[in-house]
A and B are shown apart, each in its own frame.
Chain A
């Protein structure tokens, strides 16, 4: 049986349709990523799954329990780490942790094993108030608090938003280690580069799921020829390329532009077109599509 089953769930706030007939399922022990820009409906979906919101339509189960009917039983079985730091800033690290342990009817000692690796990094600061921790430390504490009652499924809503690159990397490594313990995890993130860390991902936009696949599977959804193009004047380049007859799409990706073209266009065609427009230092190379390219393409075609 799947750990999370979402079946045609919809939720609207007034006339804003936050989540529209979303269906997906997550296998036990899977690290599942929900990827999408801000406002895609990720947080709303999370809140439905952790029993904070009722869906307007459809139903969802987590470890076999209905999120509406069995919400009370479910609350002891899931861990939720919200996108915003939501612990008591005026309590110390240790007090926060033991408070959340006690409200779940357990203690730090009982489940210390699960959080040990993360908690050892926090231990030097255990008497510091949570409000005075650095961003990365806050996030580790939040993760500990979400794990302290040994949940069967862990929900992490944008855990790496607003965290520095090193802490982000560390955080994903922690999740990998939790995965080795067969913990089912649903993680949302707006960062495409984090998608590769997941077993499977769902691309989400304006309340709808665009695709569900493994990260490489999503990359393979992209079939058109793709080139990375660079020139001295990036802004003029993007304008010229978008006007070119062979261009389908053209987006900026860091220092390169990612260009998709009509079938049969060769790099030489592009090069000639750009030289006619007096672009200098032109580089054109065919590349493999990444998740972001797929996402952009899916967004275009719905």
Chain B
């Protein structure tokens, strides 16, 4: 037992001496949290809209005015004809073109119907979807306004209308940050737990100290425990810092139990260091380890549901995702933090994470052979 303590002590000495790494380990997660939460934002703002108004009537101006007063859109200006507008679209100076044909007001007044054309730049599919959604809502509102004005004169009250009003639970204002921060908070643990741990052990191999330790009476489990404990501790410190940033800077509500979150953070860190250990056992150089960690990390993050919902992924990807630890921990993070889910609710995630942690650590210990 005392030997484990000496290894941990040595490990901390080395970590604290590596000032650059230490600063990076503690500052990078906080910075990433701040940057990702602000930048990785799917709310579509500042959509450039170009208008081709061939009608020049009050109605046409009222419609354009509607776009002007919503901050999702930025009116780039009017162009006289379709062609120059199309050029704006090609040059990516416009995301959206609103084409109001001649006789728009007349048709609307006389025939009670008129058409307008909306051209959306769909290079970025999700952005285009959201943009056209916004635009359609605006146009529908305009339509309703006009109809109530004209209808009111002719025949009052044409029966009831069904209004649907959405209420968003747990994130009532659909704040993107609220949704992202719990996910990122856990995602960052994999960096310290997985990457730094893997690189640290491979470094011992590279500088030859691993061999030197192998001729000492240090036992396999002592080495593994001594190596991994510091990273679990640093991971928990990092988690605390991230949590504080989330609560105080982003005002994320913490509805669920904080000890439960720490419990899961601990379990997840064990899993991460297990992964790091496994990677270090199969790599000979830091380069190899770096590549392996990076490969896992990118795959985990992209499939995790951090940025896009897992339910919309193809079936095979969903199957693959049952092996993605990040997916479970992000579910836990969001549910516990925002919804107040209890351990009971998170049982299946707990079992999945526990199984993976046990599997990874056993596999790594088995693979990590003391005699080369």
Q: Tell which of B10, B217, B371 touches A54, judged by Cβ atoms closer than 8 Å.
A: B371
With A99-B10, A103-B6 as given contacts, are A52 and B208 in contact (CB-CB < 8 Å)? no
Contacts of A51 in B (CB 8 A): 214-215, 371
With both beta carbons as reference points, the residue of chain B lying nearest to A100 in the complex is identified as B216
Q: Is A89 an interface residue (CB 8 A)?
A: yes
In the complex, what distance in Å separates the CA atom of A80 from the CA atom of B18? 28
Interface string of B1-31 (1 = CB under 8 A from A): 0110011001001100110000000000000
Contacts A84-B208, A102-B3: A52 and B217 contacting too (C-beta < 8 A)? no
Interface of B is mostly: helix
The interface residues of chain B lying within 8 Å CB-to-CB of A53 are: 371-372
Give min CB distance, A44 to chain B, whole Å: 11
- Residues in A whose Cβ lies below 8 Å from that of B58: none
Closest to B7 in A: A103
Chain B interface, number of residues (Cβ within 8 angstroms) = 22
Note all chain A residues with C-beta closer than 8 A to B212.
80, 82, 86-87, 100, 145
A75 and B14 contacting across the interface, CB-CB below 8 Å: no
Nearest-Cβ distance from residue A153 to partner chain B, whole angstroms = 12
Contact call A88/B371, Cβ cutoff below 8 A? no
Determine whether the beta carbon of A88 is less than 8 Å from that of B14. Answer: yes
| A-contact bits for B199-232, CB 8 A (1 contact / 0 none) | 0000000011101111111100000000000000
What are the interface flags for A63-104 relative to B under an 8 Å C-beta threshold, 1 for contact and 0 otherwise? 000000001100110101010111111110001000110111
CB contacts under 8 Å to A, within B12-58, are 13-14, 17-18
Q: Is the CB of A103 within 8 A of B213?
A: yes
Measured in the bound complex, the distance between the Cα atoms of B213 and A88 in whole Å is 11
- Give a binary string over B263-294; 1 marks a CB under 8 Å from any A CB, 0 the rest: 00000000000000000000000000000000
Cα distance A290–B259 in the bound complex, in angstroms: 76
Determine how close the nearest CB of chain A comes to the CB of B111; give it in whole angstroms.
Answer: 83
Is residue A105 contacting chain B, with contact meaning CB distance below 8 A? yes
A50 close to chain B: CB less than 8 A: yes
A107 CB to closest chain B CB (Å) equals 11
**Cα-based distance from A158 to B304 in the complex (angstroms):** 52
Within 42-66 of A, Cβ neighbours of B (below 8 Å) are at 47, 50-54
Pick the contact of A87 from B7, B14, B209, B216 — CB < 8 Å? B209
Known interface pairs A71-B371, A95-B13. Does A86 touch B209 (Cβ–Cβ under 8 Å)? yes
CA distance A53 to B211 in the complex (A): 11
Q: From residue A218, how far is it (CB to closest CB) to chain B in Å? A: 30
Q: A51-B371, A75-B215 are in contact. Are A89 and B6 (CB under 8 A)?
A: no
Which of these, B3, B17, B208, contacts A103 with CB under 8 Å? Answer: B3
State the Cβ distance, A174 to closest chain B Cβ, in Å: 20
Binary contact track B332-357/A, C-beta < 8 Å → 1, others 0 = 00000000000000000000000000
- B294 to A: closest C-beta gap in Å: 25
**Cross-chain contact of B208 among A72, A86, A91 (Cβ < 8 A):** A86
- Indicate if the CB atoms of A88 and B209 lie closer than 8 Å: yes
Chain B residues, Cβ within 8 Å of A84: 208
Give the docked Cα–Cα distance between A100 and B215 (Å).
11
Tell whether, in the assembled complex, residue B216 and residue A103 are in contact, meaning their CB atoms are under 8 Å apart: yes
Contact A52 B371, beta carbon cutoff 8 Å: yes
- In the bound complex, residues from chain A placing their C-beta under 8 Å from that of B208 are 82, 84-86
CB distance from A11 to the nearest CB of B (A): 12
Mask, B178-203, CB within 8 Å of A = 1, is 00000000000000000000000000
Is A103's CB under 8 angstroms from B211's CB? no
A90-B18 Cα distance, complex, nearest whole Å: 8
Interface centre among A71, A80, A99 (most CB of B within 10 A): A99
Contacts of A76 in B (CB 8 A): 217
C-alpha gap A126/B218 in the complex (Å):
25
B contact residues around A47 at 8 Å (CB)? 372
Contact with B along A165-177 (1 / 0, CB 8 A): 0000000000000
Chain A residues engaging chain B, CB cutoff 8 angstroms = 47, 50-54, 71-72, 75-76, 78, 80, 82, 84-91, 95, 99-100, 102-105, 145
Question: Which 7 pairs between the two chains have the least Cβ-Cβ distance?
Answer: A86-B208, A102-B6, A86-B212, A80-B215, A103-B216, A50-B215, A75-B217
Between A and B, 8 residue pairs with Cβ closer than 8 Å are: A52-B371, A90-B18, A91-B13, A102-B3, A102-B6, A103-B217, A105-B217, A145-B212
- Can you add 18 more A-B contacts, CB < 8 Å, to A76-B217, A85-B208, A100-B216? A52-B211, A52-B215, A52-B371, A52-B372, A53-B372, A82-B211, A86-B209, A86-B212, A88-B209, A89-B207, A90-B14, A91-B14, A91-B17, A95-B13, A100-B212, A102-B2, A103-B217, A104-B217
